[in-house]
Structure 1
Amino acid sequence: MDPEVWRWVWLAAAAAFIVGEITVAGTFFLLPFGLGAAVAAVFAFSGAGSATGWTIFVAVSLVASIAVRPIVRRLNATGDPISVGAERLIGQAGVVIRDLSAGADRMGAVRVGREEWHAESVDGVDLPTGTAIEVTDILGTRAIVRPVDSES
């Protein structure tokens, strides 16, 4: 192929890889190839042959791929997963709004944040209205709670 054509091929490849990277969010997979093609285009415009262009493309793409990995790893790192649904209540503090008794009908009610839940005590102990609690588990539509020590 004519060296004049390679200039435009490398430039078009660089544009295609970079546009592809922009449209595929969060991967950084095409960026190294876009950089490699852009550098190969610069060399092609300065008169380098096609073999040199391919060598530059492969070398720059490889180095850019290695260099971008720590950045991608840091950007994709996630902290604690955000709890969704009823699971978000586990560990939350609340207050008993209807007595939790140890009898046959052990269920009472608690308020956690702005929500009211049917609840039962984790130990089966009586918890009178107004007792501070912590949600330890969710079983279906019931919150399993334990009293919070007033000393802590």
Structure 2
Amino acid sequence: MEPWFWMWLVAAVVLSVAEIFTAGFFMLPFGIGAAIAAVLAYFNVALTWQWVAFVGLSSLLLFTLRRFSDRMTHEPPQKVAGDRLIGRAGIVIETIDSHTGTGRVRVDREEWRADASIDAAIPEGTPITVVSVVGAHLMVEPAPARVAE
């Protein structure tokens, strides 16, 4: 066995173990590429082909495993501040009048300044739905009436 076999084998082990301490499948493709190059070195394949196999397979696996990893671990971004309230129901605690810029709502135990998304006042006590957030104001509309069954 030639020295390249041992160098590839050590590189494969070191890179594969290093993957444990990194995130995102970055070292593993190089470890697998080095292992394949070690197999080629064991069968006395020319050094050039060992390097071609290492670089080619490592590159291919890097992009493939990263895309797979991203797809498997992709989580939608967490909504923050008022954005998390979009679509939530609440109640008007101070009449909302878009002309005077007054109005407050309570959504999930939180009170927010509110503006109406419609061109009409929304009286106190009206159930609402949050449709968007503009700065520190919630844009709301009256909630659809529930049909009694």
Q: Does structure 1 retain, via aligned residues, the 8 Å contact 2:98–2:121?
A: yes
Map of 1:1-150 to 2, 5 A cutoff? 3=2, 5-26=3-24, 28-42=25-39, 44=41, 46=42, 48-49=43-44, 51=46, 55-56=49-50, 58-59=52-53, 62-63=56-57, 65-66=59-60, 69-77=63-71, 78=74, 80-101=76-97, 104=100, 106-150=101-145
Contiguous gaps of at least 5 residues in structure 2 = none
Q: Is the 8 A contact 2:88 2:107 kept in 1?
A: yes
How many residues align? The count is: 145
Q: Is the Cα–Cα contact under 8 Å of residues 35 and 61 in structure 1 kept in the other structure?
A: no
- 1:6, CA displacement in angstroms? 2.4
For 1:64 and 1:13, the matched residues in 2 are separated by 13
Distance 1:137 1:43 in 2: 60
Please report the TM-score for the alignment, with normalisation by the length of structure 1.
Answer: 0.73
* AA in 2 matched with 1:33: F
Deviations 1:98-137 (A, max 9, x none): 2223553x41211111211011212242222221111122
Asked if the contact 1:32/1:62 (under 8 Å) is kept, the reply is: no
Unmatched runs of 5 consecutive residues or more in structure 1: none
Identity among equivalent pairs (%):
39
